[in-house]
Amino acid sequence: MTDLTTIKGLGPTTIKDLQALGIKNAEDLVTYYPFRYEVIEKSNINNLQDGDKIIIDGFCENNPNVFHFSRKLNKMSFRLNTGERLLNITIFNRAFLKNRIAITTPLTVIGKYDKKHNAITASDLKFGLITKTVINPVYHSSFKLNSKKINKLVSLVLGKINIPDYIPDSLNEKYHFMDKAAAIRAVHYPIDMDKTDLARQKLKYEELFIFMLKMNYLKNNKQINIGLARHVDYAQIDQLIHNLDFQLTQDQLSSIRDIYHDLTSPKRMNRLLQGDVGSGKTIVSFISLYINYLGGYQGALMAPTEILAQQHFNNITKLFPTLNIALLTGKTKAKERRIITTDLASGNIDIIIGTHALISEGVTYKNLGLVITDEQHRFGVNQRGNLKNKGITPDILYMSATPIPRTYALTLYGDMDISSIKTMPQGRKRVKTILKSNKEIKDVLYLMLDEIKKGHQIYVIAPLVEDSEKIDLENVNQLEEKMQKAFGKICNIGTLHGKMKADEKDQIMEKFKNNDIQILISTTVIEVGVDVANATMMVIFDSFRFGLSALHQLRGRVGRNALDSYCILISDRETRRLKVLTETNDGFKVSEEDFLLRGSGDLFGQKQSGDMCFKIADLKQDYNLLLQAKEDSQAFLDSQDYVNKKYEHIRKIVEKSSNLD
Nearer to Mg ion among residue 190 and residue 529 (C-beta): 529
Interacting positions 531-590 with ligand ADP (CB under 6 A): 531, 533, 560
Nearer to ligand ADP among residue 376 and residue 411 (C-beta): 376
Identity of the residue numbered 602: D
Q: Is 246 in the site for ligand ADP (CB under 6 A)?
A: yes
* Bridge partner list, 328: 354
Min. distance of Cβ 252 from ligand ADP in angstroms?
Answer: 6
Q: Is 221 in the site for ligand ADP (CB under 6 A)?
A: no
Min. distance of Cβ 273 from ligand ADP in angstroms?
Answer: 9
Select from 315, 562, 443 the least CA-distant residue to 301: 315
Supply the DSSP symbol for 49: P
**Whole-angstrom distance, CA of residue 439 vs CA of residue 46:** 57
Residue whose C-beta lies closest to Mg ion: 529
Nearer to ligand ADP among residue 284 and residue 327 (C-beta): 284
Q: Are 204 and 629 in contact (CB under 8 A)?
A: no
Among 529, 547, 556, 559, binds Mg ion (CB under 5 A): 529
Q: Is 402 in the site for ligand ADP (CB under 6 A)?
A: no
Min. distance of Cβ 599 from ligand ADP in angstroms?
Answer: 25
Supply the DSSP symbol for 356: G
Min. distance of Cβ 529 from Mg ion in angstroms?
Answer: 4
Nearer to ligand ADP among residue 586 and residue 641 (C-beta): 586
Interacting positions 420-479 with ligand ADP (CB under 6 A): 425
**Whole-angstrom distance, CA of residue 277 vs CA of residue 299:** 24
Q: How many CB atoms lie within 10 A of CB 159?
A: 10
**Whole-angstrom distance, CA of residue 571 vs CA of residue 439:** 10
Min. distance of Cβ 588 from ligand ADP in angstroms?
Answer: 14
Nearer to Mg ion among residue 111 and residue 529 (C-beta): 529
Residue 373 neighbours by CB under 8 Å, 6+ apart: 302, 379, 384, 396, 397, 398, 399
**Binding partner of 560, given ligand ADP, Mg ion, none, CB within 5-8 angstroms per partner class:** ligand ADP
The footprint of ligand ADP on this chain (CB under 6 A) covers a number of residues equal to: 18
Interacting positions 52-81 with ligand ADP (CB under 6 A): none
On the 0-12 / 13-18 / 19+ scale of CB atoms within 10 A, 361 is exposed
Interacting positions 382-401 with ligand ADP (CB under 6 A): 401
Min. distance of Cβ 281 from Mg ion in angstroms?
Answer: 5
Residue whose C-beta lies closest to ligand ADP: 280
Nearer to ligand ADP among residue 222 and residue 281 (C-beta): 281
Identity of the residue numbered 386: N
Supply the DSSP symbol for 133: -
Q: Are 611 and 198 in contact (CB under 8 A)?
A: no
Nearer to ligand ADP among residue 111 and residue 425 (C-beta): 425
**Whole-angstrom distance, CA of residue 154 vs CA of residue 7:** 11
- The beta-strand segments (E) located in 82-192 are 86-92, 106-114, 119-127, 134-138
Select from 519, 418, 502 the least CA-distant residue to 459: 519
Nearer to Mg ion among residue 30 and residue 307 (C-beta): 307
Min. distance of Cβ 643 from ligand ADP in angstroms?
Answer: 42
Q: Is 288 in the site for ligand ADP (CB under 6 A)?
A: no
Supply the DSSP symbol for 42: P
**Whole-angstrom distance, CA of residue 224 vs CA of residue 219:** 9
**Binding residues for ligand ADP, per CB under 6 A?**
246-249, 252, 275, 277-283, 401, 425, 531, 533, 560
**Binding residues for Mg ion, per CB under 5 A?**
529
